[in-house]
Structure 1
Amino acid sequence: MRLRRIPGTRERIRQYAPWLVEEPQQWQGRWQEYIAGRLETTPTPVERKEIHLELGVGRGRFINQMAQEQPQHFWIGAELREEVLLTAIERAEKWQAPNLAFLWIDIETTTDIFAHGEVDAIYLNFSDPWPKDRHAKRRLTHRRFLDRYRQYLKPGGKIHFKTDNRDLFDFSLEEFKENGFSLEAVTFDLHKDPNLSSYDLSARVMTEYENRFSQKGQPIHRCIAVLP
């Protein structure tokens, strides 16, 4: 669904410093310095904060809650659509989790923003399924994007993937396997999975979209892809 552009949205987003990272390319390879500045600490290897990156934050319910519940990590949310990004940042302003920042970017540019091994985990929540075959390369689990994630996800790093689209899920499982990722916690109906309580917290924290559709009984598919 295309969002209606609201006049003044861009100006309002830029009013919410420090939540928005301007010119994030300058921090490539130096994100621990940025994090230390945000948290007003001195960066040391011992105190390194894991970086957890959500690509496509939507209205920000998921990343704001995760930042609240896992203050030991630093959470970065990337979003291009300005109307939903504004909502996510307004939520951050209300919740005041200091371990959270947003990037107003096209996901294609993330390889210019993060250095090799700099990101510990990636979250893809209800990405656009791009159902037509001719648009397959636009899917965020297509090998074209997996090659990008490989450039900055650390060895052993994980991609947490959720969708309600079975065709996209089947496609993604094959893409992960064919591109050298191992799979964990694969489920085709997350919220009815008897093992749900044993999964990591991100499996149980819902996006707005997920909450709405799971209440209607629509199955949610989820897996974790692990980079060797």
Structure 2
Amino acid sequence: MRVRNRKGAPEMMAANTQYVVENPEAFKGKWAEKFGNDHPIHIEVGSGKGAFITGMAERHPDINYIAIDMQLTVLSYALDKVLEMNLSNVQLLHVDGSSLTNYFADGEVALVYLNFSDPWPKTRHEKRRLTYKDFLKTYETILVPHGKVHFKTDNRGLFEYSLASMSQYGMTLQQVWLDLHADTDFAGKNVMTEYEAKFSSKGQVIYRVEAQF
């Protein structure tokens, strides 16, 4: 979903290069140097306004997080949160999530998050879905051996498609939630995205899967 352009967003991003990576290709294979430590790297493809990535970064200071989104405006809202929370373990990439191998070396990433991705419901758009086999191959390439993908959505059709796509690719579905918010044991671990909070407040069921290569 497109977001209305935010006045001053480009200037804001340009003024905070300690968080906004202007030349991510230069850090391929060198993200540990960028963060200044060798902590595991988790990336969120399609990070939106950053509620999830910043919430996770605050809870887990021993993990480095990278938010990836094509929309400059939404990333500027994520930057707001990073600045407000003074998070040193978050970097923001204004790039296309389909080109991850341009920015990450083989085996450099520990975990990939896909949250409320565009469902692309028409059959002719299947290749654009972030759980299509070509995307899965990309994730497998940049992930550590037996790396994981965590996927959340409110779209049942996309969820069913993703379970099938992951299974057919040969991934192991380690845990599947057909109603995430009904799981009281997971409630304390769950960090919601903006969309998740909006949809769940209206009674919409949230689906989630943890899958491993």
Pairing 1:69-80 to 2, within 5 Å after superposition? 69-80=59-70
SS at match of 1:206: coil
RMSD of aligned alpha carbons: 1.4
Q: TM-score normalized by structure 1?
A: 0.90
Q: TM-score normalized by structure 2?
A: 0.96
Q: 5+ residue gaps in structure 2? A: none
Pairing 1:170-189 to 2, within 5 Å after superposition? 170-189=160-179
Q: 5+ residue gaps in structure 1? A: 37-42
Corresponding residue for residue 205 of structure 1: 191
SS at match of 2:170: coil
Task: Give the one of 109, 115, 121 matched to 1:125.
Answer: 115
CA drift of 1:97 comes to 1.0
In the alignment, residue 123 of structure 1 is paired with which amino acid?
Answer: Y
Q: Distance in 2 between matches of 1:99 and 1:6?
A: 25
Q: Distance in 1 between matches of 2:184 and 2:4?
A: 40
Aligned residue pair count: 213
Corresponding residue for residue 5 of structure 2: 5
Corresponding residue for residue 214 of structure 1: 200
CA contact (8 A) 1:16 1:93 kept: no
Q: Distance in 2 between matches of 1:184 and 1:138?
A: 25
CA drift of 1:195 comes to 4.5
Task: Give the one of 206, 210, 213 matched to 1:224.
Answer: 210
Corresponding residue for residue 40 of structure 1: none
SS at match of 1:71: coil
Corresponding residue for residue 39 of structure 1: none
Corresponding residue for residue 34 of structure 1: 34
Spell out structure 1 runs of 4+ moving beyond 3 A: none
Q: Distance in 1 between matches of 2:42 and 2:63?
A: 7
Q: Distance in 2 between matches of 1:78 and 1:19?
A: 12
1:92 matched to 2:96: no
Corresponding residue for residue 17 of structure 1: 17
CA drift of 1:2 comes to 2.7
In the alignment, residue 13 of structure 1 is paired with which amino acid?
Answer: M
1:150 matched to 2:140: yes
CA drift of 1:196 comes to 2.4
CA drift of 1:7 comes to 4.4
Of stretches 16-25 and 124-133 in structure 1, the one that deviates more from structure 2 is 16-25
